[in-house]
Amino acid sequence: MKEIRIHARAGQGAITTATILGYAYFIEGKFPYAFPNFGAARMGAPMNAFVRVDNKPVRLRSQIYEPDYLLISDATLLRGFNCFKGFKDNGIAIINEHEDFPIPEHKPAQQIYVVPAQAIAMETIGRPLSNTALLGAFVAATSELKLDSLLESIKHRFSGKAAEQNLLAARKGYDYIVPKKTAQPKKALAVAK
Amino acid sequence: MRELLEGSEAVAEAVRLCKPGVVSAYPITPQTHIVEGLAAMIADGKFTSQFVNVESEHSAASVVLGSVATGVRSFTATSSQGLLLMAEVVFNIAGMRLPVIMTCANRAISAPLNIWNDHQDAITVRDSGWIQMHAENIQEALDLHIQAYRIGESPKIMLPVMVNMDGFILTHGLEVVDVPTQAQVDSFLPAYTPLYKLDVNNPLTFGPLVDPDYYMEARYAIHQTHKDVLKLIPLVKDEFQKVFGRPTGGLIEGYRIDDAEKVIVAMGSVCGTIKDVVDSLRSKGKKVGLLKIITYRPFPADAIYQALKDIPKVAVLEKAVSLGSYSPVLTEIRSAFSKPEGSGLASYSQSHGKKKSPVISGFVIGLGGRDITIDSIKEVYKRLGPKPISEEYIDLKPELLEEHI
């Protein structure tokens, strides 16, 4: 079983992110359980979405406290609280780049990837919707899924121009990480910016 | 066909396959996505039905009361305050013996205002005459709606059914589900043929004023019918399995209870978490199990008695309270182990003579969406000792109860 925790603000599309990720796992024959947790139910409030995935149906219904993977859609959340709480010692985190918010302290075997997902989104979609770029980076960083499964899932979710733009964003997110992933020896994967 | 669906989408699909002629509801979190989905299907021409927009839940319930009274299969859905606003009509629907089917996306009750999950809404109307069933996961939520029409519309029953699914956890979660084909549903669920209906050519009165000479028998009759429901539900489960290949439904489900020393009794999605904890504790040699209540009304006291009578320690874990008394499910399970005084309750809890009875404890958990973790469940098993516990709360924060004036 793998557990993914997404940190975002309400309105940034974290549920869509979890849904697309869940569907990509579904395409590969896995059993995802994707679910949100709202704090204050209003735009901009910090919230989480989760994906718990296994080779058999997931029964556990609690939130995710010890994630294997973190997706931090909005780096300004690093200021308010500890997004790394419970993060597995050998976990992988993908952070949407924000120059004012450096990478938090973390354990040596944890791999942290900072991705200019917002810049990619502005370039491909024209709006700061970073989710698909982050997911492309997630696939490259974790090797959990085939890129094709993610692209298929994006096509399932979006149509027409939105599909094209998001497919491009996902590819760019993926391509940004691939050289960083292969360039890093196992032990020195701490910060790959 | 296997699909990855949000719980609300899955229920909307199930309802569409059951072909209700009228859908009426008022939006309330976390139920809204279900009727949003149905409204979209109707607007897009994928589902032929009449969606009646209303200004409140009271009106939504009144619309489906009226539409089923005219002989048309109908559907509504609500949560929490919406169910409370419906309450007057909810009792009327059962009293008029109308098989309305409703989803209750279970949510806490105000005040304080809270949109998250617990079972206080459904429990509040437990005595209304409705059949109440609880889903553990999204597949069960989907399946139970199909069964609900079959059970409620059975000519020997003619009662409304509330399918409960945990708000957010199931309504807003996505899981892999098997969506049945229209042919499968059609073969399991015939068109609704009402025993009686409003018809200008054959005028009838529904829910008239009855004086003390008649009222009591109307209530007694519903109570008696609930005993027939206890017999029907296992048969419907068997037939469902024949058509759909899944063992969804029934009164209760035992999970690794045969040689168990400690068993938790629970309803709804928390049963999944408990099953994981059971497997984990079993792998360490601890003899623990789960008894899931699927049908809460009618209360399957006999089935519960048979399942638990040889278990030394039982924990009733509930997401509901009866403020000022012991918790509702705890009270009922304890009563299942006491000899009934009157004959009226005989088939709910046949005279078992109290020869054997577990030590039955009660725990309140997860009110207002407080997260139920693996540790929460382990704590319940841990607290089960030789003496019964009646009103312990799991994961309570004592620091919030201190006075700060």
pLDDT at position A181:
83
* pLDDT value, residue A175: 98
Q: Give pLDDT, residue B403.
A: 80
Q: What does each C-alpha distance from A57 to A54, B272, B276 come to in angstroms?
A: 7, 10, 11
Between A and B, how many CB-CB pairs are < 8 A?
Answer: 62
Could you tell me the two tokens for B135?
A: 């889903």
CATH of the domain at A67: 3.40.920.10
Asked whether the predicted pLDDT for residue B342 surpasses 50, the reply is: no
Instruction: Supply the pTM of this predicted model.
Output: 0.95
With 90 as the cut, is the pLDDT of residue A102 above it? Answer: no
Confirm if B168 and B284 have CB atoms less than 8 A apart: no
Q: In chain B, which residues have their Cβ closer than 8 Å to the Cβ of A31?
A: 175-176
Pick the residue of A20, A60, A61 with the most B CBs within 10 A to test the interface with B by mutation.
A61
Res. A186: pLDDT tops 60: no
Domains observed in chain B:
2-244 (3.40.50.970), 252-401 (3.40.50.920)
Partner-chain contact B174 A59, CB within 8 Å = no
Average pLDDT (B163-170) is 98
Cα B130 to Cα B99: distance, rounded to the nearest angstrom = 9
Q: List residues in chain A touching B: CB distance below 8 A.
A: 15, 18-19, 22-23, 26, 31-38, 41, 57-63, 65
Q: List all residues of chain B from 18 to 37 with a beta carbon under 8 Å from chain A.
A: 29
Structure tokens, A167: 């497919």
Range of the domain at A143: 2-192
Strand order across the beta sheet in which B288-293 lies: B252-255, B288-293, B262-266, B313-318, B359-364, B392-393
Q: What is the percent of chain A where pLDDT is above 70?
A: 94
Measured CA to CA, the distance from residue B361 to residue B384 in angstroms comes to 7
ipTM of the complex: 0.93
Q: Are B374 and A36 an interchain contact pair (Cβ–Cβ within 8 Å)?
A: no
Name the domain count of chain A.
1
CA–CA–CA angle B255, B258, B263 (5° rounding) = 60
pLDDT bracket for residue B348 (50, 70, 90): very low
Selection from B365, B367, B366, B360 nearest residue B390 by Cα:
B360
Q: What is the pLDDT of residue B405?
A: 63
User: Which chain B residue is nearest to residue A59, measuring alpha carbons?
Assistant: B272
d(CA B319, CA B326): 13
- Closest-CA residue in chain B for A60? B273
Element housing B49 (H / E): none
Backbone φ, ψ for residue A134 (5° rounding): -65, -40
Local structure of A12: helix, strand or coil = coil
Closest chain B residue to A63 measured between Cα atoms?
A: B371
Closest residue of chain B to A20, computed from CA coordinates: B4
Mean pLDDT for the stretch of residues B246-269: 98
Q: Mutate which of A21, A30, A51, A62 to test chain B, going by most B C-beta atoms within 10 A?
A: A62
Q: Is A4 helix (H, G, I), strand (E, B) or coil?
A: strand
Closest Cβ opposite residue A62 in set B137, B176, B372: B372
Distance from CA of A40 to the nearest CA of B (A): 10
CA distances in angstroms from B390 to A122, B360, B368, listed in the order given: 58, 8, 20
Q: What is the DSSP string of B208-262?
A: ----TTTHHHHHHHHHHHHHHHHHHHHHHHHHHHHHHS----SSEEEES-TT-SE
Question: Which of B174, B269, B275 is nearest residue A34 as measured by Cβ atoms?
Answer: B174
The values of phi and psi at residue B213, to 5°, are: -75, -20
**Cross-chain residue pair A35–B172, CB shorter than 8 Å:** yes
Pair A4, A71: CB distance under 8 Å: yes
Q: Whole-angstrom Cα distance, residue B382 to residue B222?
A: 41
**3-state class of B289 per DSSP?**
strand
B211-238, pLDDT tens digit by residue? 999 999 999 999 999 999 999 999 999 9
Q: Look at residue A184 in the predicted model and tell me its pLDDT.
A: 60
Please give the single-letter amino acid code of residue B122. Answer: A
